[in-house]
């Protein structure tokens, strides 16, 4: 198949933030074309959004059901569906797309609830189609390098993991001041049972498990609603147990006034530790009692995985959009190879999947349950 992957989008119309990020990320490598969309739950807005993107008006649909049914009948039909809606609108379009033969890439968290995530996995398994989840922070080259160094035993057996994601944009009741992004994230009907835990806590959980290769088995959580009148959590502090016996701390908050997107992780092993900060993503720090080393994209001898995801010459920072684009590129290459009857390689397959989505929803439900419980430790739900 010597052509681009054709993509349709659900959500991401006028006034949306993350939809534009997805479109840029999908376009960076020139492997994906956006050909159609249902960009809003309001048909007129959806069509207007399609006009903004200079799409064929006949392929700017009133809702995702219309898009999927009409695209299915086209000879030049879309190949994949990108879902960039609030959480409560992930499951239905993903289910319908998969059942009609379309691959899916979806924003996180994967669904509104753990039960929906498990149902979606059944559909993915049954159809055999490709499903990707945009935990985009796993796309950074130095995250790949950290993961490989841990696999190779650079820091020895992992003893402790500290992962944090502080933001400050919800330090005040922005949801009452007309902020569309704040409104749905603080609304349990659209966000689910969690606020900050679902929105950014799942990124921290995913990053910790991706880099270390470990799984969280138990949590002890203190979950708070700091801003008066807010219904969902805006701050959480979580103790972690991992499946190798390591201990951990996960902190996520959207009321840390002065912080922007302070996702960072420190992994401590018997021989040393690795430190990575999302706001300076081009640097991975190795520290030990015997020395200090900084790893950078395209500098020195790095792993094949880091090199495969490095895009620009050294001295230039790898950015958020490039990391996001790595997820889309790997997804597109996997889809293309499978459509051609070929086997994707390990780098093609390096993107978050439905299994990662289920882990994220398990994390959300377990942390919220722990926050309400008098028990010290709450085990992950099977």
Q: Give the 3-state secondary structure of the chain.
A: CCCCEEEEEECCCCCCCHHHHHHHHHHCCCCEEEEEEECCCCHHHHHHHHHHCCCCHHHECCCHHHHHHHHHCCCCCCCEEEECCCHHHCHHHHHHHHHCCCEEEECCCCCCCHHHHHHHHHHHHHHCCCEEECCHHHHCHHHHHHHHHHHCCCCCCEEEEEEEEECCCCCCCHHHCCCHHHHHHCCHHHHCCCCHHHHHHHHHHHHHHHHHCCCEEEEEEEEECCCCCCCCCCEEEEEEEECCCCEEEEEEECCCCCCCCCCEEEEEECCCEEEEECCCCCCEEEEECCEEEEECCCCCCCCHHHHHCCCCCCCCCCCHHHHHHHHHHHHHHHHHHHHCCCCCCCCCCCCCCHHHHHHHHHHHHHHHHHHHCCCCCEECCC
Residue 340 CA to residue 29 CA, distance in Å, equals 20
What pLDDT, on a 0 to 100 scale, did the predictor assign at position 313? 81
Find out if CATH 3.30.360.10 is the number for domain 140-311+359-379: yes
Residue 321 CA to residue 37 CA, distance in Å, equals 21
Query: Looking at the predicted structure, is the pLDDT value of residue 249 above 80?
Result: yes
Is 0.85 topped by the overall pTM? yes
Q: What count of other Cβ atoms lies within 10 Å of the Cβ of residue 147?
A: 21
Q: How confident is the model at residue 382 (pLDDT cuts 50, 70, 90)?
A: low
Q: Give me the architecture of the 5-129 domain, per CATH.
A: 3-Layer(aba) Sandwich (3.40)
Contacts of residue 307, Cβ cutoff 8 Å, sequence gap at least 6: 141, 298
Reading the block at residue 167, the tokens are 């933001």
Query: Looking at the predicted structure, is the pLDDT value of residue 205 above 90?
Result: yes
If we measure between CA atoms, which residue out of 121, 135, 310, 281 comes closest to residue 208? 135
Mean pLDDT of the chain: 96
Say what angle helices 202-212 and 354-372 make with each other, to 10 degrees: 120
Answer whether 374's CB lies under 8 Å from 134's CB. Answer: no
Mind listing the pLDDT tens digit for each residue in 88-100?
A: 999 999 999 999 9
What pLDDT, on a 0 to 100 scale, did the predictor assign at position 75? 96
What pLDDT, on a 0 to 100 scale, did the predictor assign at position 42? 92
What pLDDT, on a 0 to 100 scale, did the predictor assign at position 318? 75
What pLDDT, on a 0 to 100 scale, did the predictor assign at position 141? 96
Residue 41 CA to residue 102 CA, distance in Å, equals 21
Q: How confident is the model at residue 312 (pLDDT cuts 50, 70, 90)?
A: confident
Average pLDDT for 106-133: 98
Residue 103 CA to residue 124 CA, distance in Å, equals 9
Answer whether 158's CB lies under 8 Å from 212's CB. Answer: yes
**For every residue of 299-318, which 3-state class applies, written as one string?**
CCCCCHHHHHCCCCCCCCCC
Where are the chain's structural domains?
A: 5-129, 140-311+359-379
């Amino acid at each position: 198949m010597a052509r681009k992957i054709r993509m349709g989008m659900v959500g991401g119309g006028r006034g949306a933030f993350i939809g534009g990020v997805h479109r840029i990320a999908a376009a960076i490598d020139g492997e994906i074309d956006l050909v159609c969309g249902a960009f809003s739950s309001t048909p007129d807005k959806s069509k207007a959004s399609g006009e903004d993107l200079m799409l064929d008006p006949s392929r700017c649909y009133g809702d995702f059901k219309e898009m999927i049914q009409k695209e299915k009948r086209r000879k030049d039909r879309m190949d994949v569906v990108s879902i960039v809606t609030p959480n409560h609108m992930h499951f239905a379009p993903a289910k319908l797309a998969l059942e009609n033969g379309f691959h899916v890439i979806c924003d996180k968290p994967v669904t509104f609830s753990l039960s929906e995530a498990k149902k979606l996995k059944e559909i993915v398994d049954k159809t055999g189609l490709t499903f990707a989840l945009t935990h985009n922070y796993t796309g950074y080259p130095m995250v790949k390098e950290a993961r490989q160094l841990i696999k190779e035993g650079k820091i020895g057996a992992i003893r402790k993991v500290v992962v944090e994601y502080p933001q400050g944009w919800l330090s005040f009741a922005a949801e009452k001041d007309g902020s569309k992004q704040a409104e749905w994230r603080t609304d349990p009907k659209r966000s689910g049972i969690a606020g900050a835990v679902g929105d950014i806590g799942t990124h921290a959980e995913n990053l910790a498990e991706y880099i270390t290769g470990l799984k969280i088995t138990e949590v002890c959580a203190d979950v708070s609603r700091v801003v008066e009148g807010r219904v969902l959590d805006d701050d959480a502090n979580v103790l972690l147990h991992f499946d190798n016996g390591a201990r951990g701390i996960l902190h996520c908050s959207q009321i840390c006034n002065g912080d922007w997107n302070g996702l960072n992780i420190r992994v401590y092993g018997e021989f040393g530790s690795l430190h990575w900060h999302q706001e300076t993503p081009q640097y991975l720090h190795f520290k030990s009692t015997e020395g200090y080393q900084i790893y950078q994209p395209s500098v020195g001898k790095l792993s094949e995985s880091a090199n495969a995801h490095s895009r620009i010459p050294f001295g230039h920072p790898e950015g958020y959009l490039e990391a996001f684009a790595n997820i889309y590129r790997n997804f597109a290459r996997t889809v293309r190879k499978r459509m051609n009857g070929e086997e994707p390689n390990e780098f093609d397959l390096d993107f978050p999947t439905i299994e990662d989505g289920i882990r994220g929803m398990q994390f959300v439900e377990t942390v919220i349950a722990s926050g309400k419980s008098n028990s010290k430790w709450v085990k992950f739900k099977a």
